[in-house]
Structure 1
Amino acid sequence: MGKASRRRARQQERPTRVRPPKVEYVERPFEGLAAETDLVAMREIVPAATIPVRTTAEHGGADVLIASLLPDLAPALRREDGTILVGMQTASSSGDASRDVAHALLRALELEPGQPLPVGALPEPGPRLQDILDPAVEPTIDVHADFGYWVSADQQDEAEVAQAVKDSADQIVPTVRIDSAGSAYWCRMGREFVRWVRPEDPETVFDALARLHAARESAIEEGTRFVGAFRTCGLLVPVWELAPGTEADDVEGPLGELGTRLDAALAVTEPLTADERRARAGLVSRQVSLR
């Protein structure tokens, strides 16, 4: 037998490697979910928050808390009281965040009380949050000042746990949801900022912001300034720097008024003027993309 024949024979004897199907990248993974903008905020800018959801009857009709962050970036855990928490901020991603969270949620249904879900291999294609969550349950976000939601209420009475929860507050960027503006969040990171997750197409938001910027109406109030925007999960998040010392309550009214101006600008369909195009170019130059 010649060398070429022996080589072909060896190749035929080797087992064929079957690559698992890959989850396709989804630019806007939470589109279609009622809490899309808050889920994006929990994934990127809100350190401690929860949203109660329920799976469909097909998937057990289980009540679950979607959480921004869990201990050690765990994808999920079941508390001692049986409550299931699924994390939005985790250590790995398949390219479809909705599939990742749904995969962790379904695996977490089998956990025992007090057990975290270990980080496993990236999921294969399968059901996404849009497929497994009951749309009849209205999702409402609850922003927390610490990571006390990691443990059950009776555990928080334990001295060691209570101290750990208290210490966790020192590690969290103070963050408050601004009710007058939907998924807008005040935060204090040395200075005070507002970051606003917008549900519209990013290009449309840029057009509207450009119209306001050209008209000098893009500030929340005097002493604030628009500093840029970033894209994440297919949405645009504009950012404003506030006057030093501004508290969240101080911007409830002004941000609501800016929302009214922004809605009006979003409704305009005429082409941008020359001044607005220049303003838009300046805004776009200051954006970054998070993936």
Structure 2
Amino acid sequence: MSEALVLSAQQGAVRTLTLNRPAALNSFTTDMHRALRAALDEAAADAAVRCVVITGAGRGFCAGQDLSDPAIAPDLTPGATPKDIGRLLDDHYIPLAKRLRSMPVPVIAAVNGVAAGAGANMAFNCDLVVAAKSASFIQAFSKIGLIPDCGGTWLLPRLVGRARAIGLAMTGDKLPAEEAARIGLIWQVVDDAAFADTVGALAQRLAGMPTKALAETRRAMDAAVELGFDDGLALEARVQGELGRAHDYLEGASAFLQKRAPQYKDR
């Protein structure tokens, strides 16, 4: 039997999902898309999971779309009808981006090597990106006559501004992890030797925090990007009112006043 395309491991309340096509730098096929979506759905539905980590097997995180996959591989026969790449996005990349940004728990992209094309933008859809110092990010789309997808055209200008976003997308130049952190594209870059321990400690820390509040923080910030100031304030008041009636706020405030460690349960 062939090995699973996405490996799943649980440590405490942290679920780690590892893309597992190392010989192809974990590039996407339709089968790997289905496996990752199923793994994310399972993590979302499991109350024992309070943080998800996505990483890659071997020396790469994810090299984007595998161009040899039948869903996208060009048919070079004269007169052949071109493949509908938009359909590939509709069926796989759009649902993946939406799933990541709607997870009920925080999601960490642990970028252990190259993250190219949709692999880079998948990482940017996660809540926190932690990269090894040897990792890099490449908007490879322009090299094959395409535009950034998996949310790239929406994410990049919001993360680094229009000038850098267009520069990264048009040139397709490799961006070292340290530079990605310097310009605010990712959360943190870590020496390779400390990478696994740093990601593990961050994941366990997030898993011990009020999970529902963390997920609502993401939702409120994403929504506020499209709102005016007054509407943003109103959104804060609405969400804060909901969280203020939940277990975790009462537990957190009580623990603070009683000088004890809180035990968070909401999700």
Q: Structures share a fold, TM > 0.5?
A: no
Q: Which has the larger radius of gyration?
A: 1
* Larger helix proportion of the pair: 2
* Larger strand proportion of the pair: 1
Q: How high is the TM-score relative to the length of structure 1?
A: 0.25
Q: How high is the TM-score relative to the length of structure 2?
A: 0.27
